[in-house]
Amino acid sequence: MSLTQQTATSLLAKLSDGSLSASELMQETLARIDAVNGAVNAIVSLREPDELMAEARDLDNGARRGPLHGLPIAVKDLVNVAGVRSTFGSPIFADNVPEKDDLIAARMRAAGAILIGKTNTPEFGLGSNTFNPVHGATRNPYDTSRSCGGSSGGAAVSLATGMTALADGSDMMGSLRNPAAWNNVYGFRPGWGRVPSEPEGDIFLHQLSTLGPMARSPEDIAILLDVISGPDPRQPHGVPVDPVAPLSAADPKGLRIGWLGDWGGAYPMEEGILELSCDVLKVLESLGCVVEPLAAPFSAEAIWQSWIDLRSWQVSTGLSGFLAEGAELKDTAIWETERGLGLSALDVHKASVIRSQWFMAAAALFDTYDALILPTAQVWPFDADIPYPTSIAGTAMETYHQWMQVVVPVSLIGLPALAVPAGFGSRGLPMGVQVFGPRGSDAKLLALGAAYHAATDWPSHRPPL
């Protein structure tokens, strides 16, 4: 097995015991990027190879810096990395080269990672299809005519193709979970507050989005989760967390799992998605879990209304200044911003009351169930040249993002969720499910995921590239 096919756990063990040098790994990484990135456009703003090789040699000749010592990582292009072009997928920041790292990049760098460049993302991370006017589109490695999902699409593709072994992402509306499913890898949305955001602007009100890790196994996810987790004294919501690595697989026997399917028919699904999702349930049952179908536990319409109001409100706070200045924004960013600006304080309050009601209803479910499962997406990877689906199975979508409604119950109330691969459909395209639990169940979800991964190892089914 080549170095670029190995897990982060394996690579880091070899880097630690000296059987692999950082410079050897960097050389293989750059060769892999050169071989496959042209077809998928996942890694952007790649640093100069000579500079990267020199940094790797410095690590080889110096003291061990931390748990990621010598591992190459490309950082999502919504994160500032010192000295690396960081565009957010927007022409506004096309020439932006930050002087300092954002918090998540600083934590990875301090742990010994070599930050080699960026992974592609939609403009300002809006939309689950990775394309932007600065770097272009990222393609699905299982079929390069198809979307890789988003907004952490570049991260997922870099993992699937072996260009990196670990990746960071972010998740507001499935931005970790959707591309993980469509690229046959794992993505973890931590419980809200476990991984702090950048300490700027308001640090109290907005609780929809979180940063998180992606990898080809839950064991690898646990390594990066530990590095980026933990409170930041400048922010109010973080709490001390126990480390989860090294991760051991759980014994799932007797765990009760609730299957929510299409939420009682509220979420239209393309043909084959529910059937493939049920294959995951069969694996869990074979491991000893008790899986039970559940009726819709809360109004999908109410959850959606709460979500689109709170999301538009949050997006508008970040983009309204650009809109007022007449800056170039894509149409969906303008729509979100104008919609958010039109909301009253009472509208936002009503949306948060619904969010509170759904949180309490979900808490009651977790009195009975250890975890709940939903599909990760409602459609298969679509034509990469269209911005978003406008209908699903004959049902028209009312917004640019309604086709991803299935991820909203988790996002709205900040629950931890592990996106796991489910296998492949009839056209050879990947799909996945999201396994989620109550606040504080991050480690338990990853341990369950490790048991599932040991039984399936879907990421070993690599793309044709």
Cite the active site residues. 76, 151, 175
Is residue 465 over pLDDT 90? no
Mean pLDDT of 188-206: 96
**pLDDT recorded at residue 250:** 97
AA identity, residue 62: G
**pLDDT recorded at residue 248:** 97
Confidence of residue 124 (pLDDT cuts 50, 70, 90): very high
Domains along the chain?
A: 3-460 (3.90.1300.10)
For residues 284 and 252, the answer to whether their CB atoms sit within 8 Å is: yes
Alpha helix positions (H), 291-414: 300-324, 331-341, 345-365, 408-412
Residues 6 or more apart whose CB falls under 8 angstroms from that of 139 comprise 39, 40, 41, 145, 146, 148, 157, 384
Angle at 105 between CA 100 and CA 106, to 5 degrees: 65
Give the separation between CA 184 and CA 168, rounded to whole angstroms.
Answer: 16
Q: Which tens digits make up the pLDDT trace of 128-185?
A: 999 999 999 999 999 999 999 999 999 999 999 999 999 999 999 999 999 999 999 9
What's the length of the chain? 465
User: Dihedral of CA 64/70/73/75: which sign?
Assistant: positive
What are 248's two structure tokens? 């051991």
Segment holding 266, helix H or strand E? none
